[in-house]
Structure 1
Amino acid sequence: MAKEATLQVRMDAELKEQAEALYREMGTSLAEAVRIFTKQSVLENGMPFVVSANRSSSYGRLAKYADYLKMEQEKIAFEKAMAEKHEESD
């Protein structure tokens, strides 16, 4: 399968370094781990692991990990990219 799309994710620099070191020790890369996670999510039609907490929804369970500032920045970047993409196709 051709790799023709790019995914940008904002995260804490220290967390990224830790994850890169972890996957490097495992003989792979953080980028490949993200591809594996995404493919497995699609195959399972959901998270490829059990998320547990005392909350009633998946969003509620994962909300404590969210960085709302980065989510807003990503939303703005996505909207800008989509506008630029549609301007190019006109």
Structure 2
Amino acid sequence: MAKEATLQVRMDSELKEQVELLYKQLGTSFAEAVRIFARQSVEDQGMPFSMHLSAAGRKRTLGIANGKYKIPDNIDENNDEIAEMFGVK
């Protein structure tokens, strides 16, 4: 598949450094991870992980981990920043 398009994403530079280091340790690149995400989204015809609202007071878990990992209670502290990054706000 020819690489004909460029995607630009604005994000915190510290986050970018952290994610680039993570993917380097995993033997790939952040750019390749984004391509994998896009490919899997098209194949799944949706997000390649579970997204849902949880009931109040219920412990949330990552959908991709089938409940193996608990999400911290303060996870919503960054929602505004995340929405801004994706241009939702």
TM-score range, shorter chain: 0.5 to 0.7
- Asked whether 1:37 is paired with 2:53, we answer no
Stretches of structure 2 lacking an aligned partner (at least 5 in a row): 56-77
Q: Deviations 1:31-76 (Å, cap 9, x if unpaired)?
A: 0000000000010011001123338xxxxxxx922116x728xxxx
Aligned-residue RMSD, C-alpha: 2.5
User: Could you state the TM-score of these two structures normalised by the residue count of structure 1?
Assistant: 0.63
1:1-90 counterparts in 2 under 5 A?
1-54=1-54, 64=79, 65-67=82-84, 71=87
User: Could you state the TM-score of these two structures normalised by the residue count of structure 2?
Assistant: 0.63
Which one-letter code corresponds to 2:84 in the other structure? D
- Structure 2: how far apart are the matches of 1:45 and 1:8? 22
Q: Is the helix fraction higher in 1 or 2?
A: 1
- Structure 1: how far apart are the matches of 2:45 and 2:11? 25
Q: Which has the higher contact order (CA 8 A, sep 6+)?
A: 1
Task: Report sequence identity in percent.
Answer: 59
